[in-house]
Amino acid sequence: MAGGGFVDAQGGARAEYYEYNITWYFIFATVVAALGGSLFGYDLGVSGGVTSMDHFLKEFFHEVYKRKQEHLKETDYCKYDNQLLTLFTSSLYFAALLSTFVASHVTRNKGRRASILVGAVSFFLGAILNAFAQNLAMLIIGRCLLGVGIGFGNQTVPLYLSEMAPAKVRGAVNQLFQLTTTLGIFIANFVNNATEKHPKGWRLSLGLATIPALLMFVGGLFLPETPNSLVEQGRLEEGRKVLERVRGTTKVEAEFQDLIEASEAAKAIKHPFRNLLKRKNRPQLVIGALGIPAFQQLTGMNSVLFYAPVIFQSLGFGSAAALWSSTITTGSLVLGALISMALVDKLGRRAFFLEAGFEMICCMVAVAVTLALNFGQGVALSKGIGIFLVVIISLFVLAFGRSWGPLGWLVPSEIFPLETRSAGQSMVVCVNMLFTALIAQCFLVSLCHLRYGIFLVFGGFILIMTLFIYFLLPETKQVPIEEIHLLWQNHWFWKRYCDHDDQLQQVERKLEQV
């Protein structure tokens, strides 16, 4: 069967002996760590709103402000086409991209907790600089500091959550990251609405980013390190104590032994990035490090979030357009995250990827056809067509919110072996931020030239990525994180990359026993 390669629900090996209870200590650790998503989400929500505020545009991007006021001679698609304005957004993602390599070193050698703290401090400093910016240079430098914070946070938080969570609830726990991201976007849009009419309101919107950063830093001071990281650092006794406390039982011998064996394999790897390129790690490289993070951005989600206010304005909501668009679009994101959290460990990752992919393709085609027939030359949409587009966009956002949004972080964080986990997660964030930056920098100009065709391009990408998942990704639900490698050995395609290496490892183990 396409996408085959399953092991039993417990993952085989020692997994059937794993025991756990949900403890308050575990809940505290995962909730505090998940605050890292709110940094990413708040910035996504704030930056989109601030760049449409008249007072912000007048102070830093006067040409865009002037064009916005004199838009009658322009097509609606080209109103915000300005490379400096898009640089304000994309500079953060380029900085996040570069910072992931440093984050990988810190995460592996100093621990997951250290990376979380570094990310919180950098994000806090960036928010302060943006709030008091006097020129474009200060804005860009502040954005870069925010990017470093997001690079560290996005590299570490999904990893932290996956390592702390028991296998049977790992999907739901990991998706706390996506939930806090969507809540951050949701709150940021309401903040923008409250501040947009004040001459200095944009400063308050940007400055309030210090709050989630401060919460993450203070909470991070009390976070435990993950047992995986402690074992990797050679702190075995401490690692076992944390594992017992997190699992709520002293019967952790089976899981702890698996961690030790994974750590021993990891210590033999001196160059994790180079190891990631080895043949035996080809599935993780192609699916986790390259495919999924790139495809997550090629869904066109950012374009839909940008375009929503224009559609709502055409409905006659006027100054309230941003409030309505943020309520519906980001509300759909939050709802999607909650649906995914509730069902992903029951229905599986593949089910959400595939059904949502089909739905997103249909939505993109519907938007493109509707805009091709009714929009683009300064002509307002009729109310009926506007309502239809609002419904379609909400369905698209809901589909993304329960599939590529949360699973784009969950699946990569759970498929890398310990020896390449930090390097792999760095690659995930790096590729994700690269495509985010490129789309942020190129979307407005592409919208201006391709017009409604840009939505057909995204629809084509979604078709490709849905086929990618169908044929190449095995189901990972409830499989212990240290035993994901068993999936590749049984997969119709990937087993050809694993068989030879596994035979060599078995021979080496037998020789060691002799």
pLDDT tens track for 410-449 = 899 889 887 788 788 888 888 988 888 888 777 777 777 7
How many angstroms separate the CA atoms of 216 and 308, rounded? 31
Spatial CA neighbour of 22 closest among 214, 203, 164, 178 = 164
Under the banding of pLDDT at 50, 70 and 90, the label for residue 371 is: confident
- Beta-carbon neighbour count of residue 506 at 10 Å? 10
Count the helices and strands in the chain (H runs, E runs). Answer: 26, 0
Residue type, 221: L
How many angstroms separate the CA atoms of 425 and 107, rounded? 10
Q: Which residue has the higher pLDDT, 257 or 88?
A: 257
Under the banding of pLDDT at 50, 70 and 90, the label for residue 321 is: low
3-state secondary structure of 39: helix
Please, what is the Cα angle at 261 between 257 and 266, to 5 degrees?
140
How many angstroms separate the CA atoms of 493 and 382, rounded? 50
Under the banding of pLDDT at 50, 70 and 90, the label for residue 28 is: very high
| Statement: residue 352 has pLDDT above 60 | yes
% of residues, the chain, pLDDT over 70 = 83
Report CA-CA distances (Å) from 413 to 117, 416, 484.
20, 7, 11
* DSSP-assigned letters across all residues of 262-310: HHHHHHT-S-HHHHHTSGGGHHIIIIIIIIHHHHHHHT-HHHHHHHHHH
3-state secondary structure 166-191: CHHHHHHHHCHHHHHHHHHHHHHHHH
Mean per-residue pLDDT over the chain, rounded: 82
Under the banding of pLDDT at 50, 70 and 90, the label for residue 510 is: very low
For 77, residues 6+ apart whose C-beta sits below 8 A from its C-beta are: 376, 447, 448, 451
Total-model pTM: 0.80
How many angstroms separate the CA atoms of 160 and 226, rounded? 7
Per the listing, tokens 């596994």 go with: 502
Q: Which residue has the higher pLDDT, 87 or 485?
A: 485
Under the banding of pLDDT at 50, 70 and 90, the label for residue 68 is: low
Segment among 39-53, 175-189, 287-301 with least mean pLDDT: 39-53
Residue type, 345: D
pLDDT digits (tens, 9 = 90+) for 150-182: 999 988 998 899 889 887 888 889 889 889 998
Q: Please, are residues 417 and 265 in contact by the beta-carbon 8 Å criterion?
A: yes
How many angstroms separate the CA atoms of 118 and 95, rounded? 14
Report CA dihedral (419, 424, 425, 427) to the nearest 10 degrees. 150
Residue type, 108: R
How many angstroms separate the CA atoms of 182 and 401, rounded? 8
Under the banding of pLDDT at 50, 70 and 90, the label for residue 505 is: low
Under the banding of pLDDT at 50, 70 and 90, the label for residue 5 is: very low
User: Would you kindly state where each structural domain of the chain is located, as residue ranges?
Assistant: 15-223+269-495
- Retrieve residue 405's tokens: 């949004």
Spatial CA neighbour of 39 closest among 155, 144, 150 = 150
| Statement: residue 307 has pLDDT above 60 | no
Segment among 356-370, 375-389, 484-498 with least mean pLDDT: 375-389
pLDDT given at position 220: 92
* DSSP-assigned letters across all residues of 48-79: HHHTT-HHHHHHH-HHHHHHHHTGGGS-GGGT
How many angstroms separate the CA atoms of 354 and 470, rounded? 7
Segment among 18-27, 30-39, 47-56, 327-336 with least mean pLDDT: 47-56
pLDDT given at position 323: 57
Spatial CA neighbour of 99 closest among 138, 143, 135, 139 = 143
Spatial CA neighbour of 500 closest among 281, 280, 284 = 280
How many angstroms separate the CA atoms of 412 and 409, rounded? 6
End-to-end CA distance of the chain: 40
| Statement: residue 398 has pLDDT above 60 | yes
pLDDT given at position 458: 93
- Retrieve residue 437's tokens: 């930056």
- Retrieve residue 347's tokens: 């229905």
Residue type, 445: V
- Retrieve residue 479's tokens: 């499989």
- Retrieve residue 378's tokens: 């300064």
- Retrieve residue 394's tokens: 């909400």
Q: Please, are residues 15 and 482 in contact by the beta-carbon 8 Å criterion?
A: no
CATH architecture of 15-223+269-495: Up-down Bundle (1.20)
Residue type, 413: S
pLDDT given at position 478: 85
